[in-house]
Chains A and B, each alone.
Chain A
């Protein structure tokens, strides 16, 4: 879609639009947005991945719609209408997940509904989709969505390996492994995210220095 109006110069920036969400402006590690689901459902890799994909889907759909409607929605009521758009897609996702796997729906619980109040989605709608063409909005949503999923997966994998001794429910260690229960508990979520932030900070400081 972005080909319609893209010159070669714009093409470069289109790729950039996608890449920035994965690393430079990663929603979790750099912007620290949408923390609640990140910490709450990242206790296993599977939950984390499902949550990430659900959020990415809602982000994509709402970015598309917000971008399409950007010239029709009056400025004063824009936030309210974005929230309504997001809530609609979240309801769709909620019912879809329930249809695909009841078990998964149970383990994610209320956190699917809580995607509505994920600041990441609202901030992309406000900061990006409401000002850009639909093609760029799609790229932006895909980049941010994958970045979010990637970050969630990083957290979930670490917590499941240390706290449960397995990944995707496949045991990694022999019987003698003493699992770190604390990593599955809420406190583990805070510690793991803090550690990832430390690593990213350290990497970026080194980059600036060199």
Chain B
């Protein structure tokens, strides 16, 4: 049913249709935690992990819901799985590294409402990917999210020293940078095809 190679699925999700810059998914953490490079990488790692787990679970759930003929439960069960995975990650990080837990702050529980994660689960279902393809797709999407977050964090750290007009400080400036980055990523079009 699907003839895309695994490599092209990965490239597609990570670069060509980058989740942040082309699909606008996961903009809230993108704007929120992209101020510092260090937090950005850790946030990216946490999101990648949650994405992978929830994508695998979503594959199983979808198969089960199809078998009992209840597609309307899809959304509710996906969100429950994502919420519990996030809870798990939160407890894990709190135990392993309290400092990291503190620096991520409110954005850790907010991974639950990160559209990128639910987006991966929904897109892989609508594209009809098999298990292996879903895993590769979620890894690609996670890598793309990480890449976008790290790129913008690097640029924002530099911009701290720039003298910009007062009214454009903060979100507006970040959005301009994101727009330019999004233009750059359009150069990847056709790469995965």
Q: What's the minimum C-beta distance from B141 to chain A, rounded to whole angstroms?
A: 13
- What 0/1 pattern do residues 141 to 171 of B give for CB contact below 8 A with A? 0000000000000000000000000111001
> Which among B5-13, B22-30, B59-67, B95-103 touches the partner chain?
B22-30
The secondary structure that dominates the B interface is helix
Residue contact A32 to B171, C-beta cutoff 8 Å: yes
> Which among B40-48, B113-121, B132-140 touches the partner chain?
B113-121
Q: What's the minimum C-beta distance from B180 to chain A, rounded to whole angstroms?
A: 8
> Which among A60-68, A88-96, A162-170 touches the partner chain?
A88-96
A-B pair count, CB < 8 Å, reads 110
Residue contact A32 to B186, C-beta cutoff 8 Å: no
The secondary structure that dominates the A interface is helix
- What 0/1 pattern do residues 182 to 210 of A give for CB contact below 8 A with B? 10011111110110011001100100000
- What 0/1 pattern do residues 62 to 105 of B give for CB contact below 8 A with A? 00000000001001100110010000000000000000000000
Other-chain contact of B27, A36, A91, A122, A191 (Cβ < 8 Å): A36
Residue contact A113 to B118, C-beta cutoff 8 Å: yes
| Residues in A whose Cβ lies below 8 Å from that of B109 | 79
Give 25 pairs: A residue, B residue, CB < 8 Å, sorted on A. Answer: A33-B28, A35-B31, A36-B24, A36-B115, A39-B27, A40-B24, A79-B112, A83-B112, A84-B80, A87-B75, A91-B76, A117-B79, A117-B114, A119-B28, A122-B113, A185-B182, A187-B186, A190-B175, A190-B178, A194-B172, A197-B171, A198-B168, A198-B172, A201-B168, A205-B167
